[in-house]
Amino acid sequence: MRITLTLDPDVATMIETIRRERGATLRDVVNDALRKGLAQTKPTSREVFATRTVTLGQPSRPGVDDVADVLEQVEDGLHP
């Protein structure tokens, strides 16, 4: 993967020092540093999210599944 990075001056200096000491390429030094850093990173634990359940009781019109029918009954004054 190709990528353009903007390095902070202190990081660029450290990478350049390591590159010269090892006689390595910039690519190799950056890849090695990233591998080591990422290997030390621990996954963050997530807090468990739970939703309480609430009983809503019995429906006022048991057995009615048709919303249009319920609205018609309410409009006609047939509701309790």
Q: Which two tokens stand for residue 47?
A: 């807090």
Exposed/middle/buried for 2, CB within 10 Å: 0-12, 13-18, 19+?
A: exposed
Which is more confident, 29 or 55? 29
Residue 30: its pLDDT value, please?
96
54 in Cβ contact with 43 (< 8 Å): no
In a domain, 15, yes or no: yes
Domain of residue 27: give its range: 9-40
pLDDT in tens, 36-52: 999 998 888 888 899 99
| Coil vs helix vs strand at 17 | helix
Residue 27 lies in a domain: yes
Q: Is 33 helix (H, G, I), strand (E, B) or coil?
A: helix
> Could you give the CA distance from residue 70 to residue 45 in angstroms, rounded to a whole number?
47
Total domain count, the chain: 1
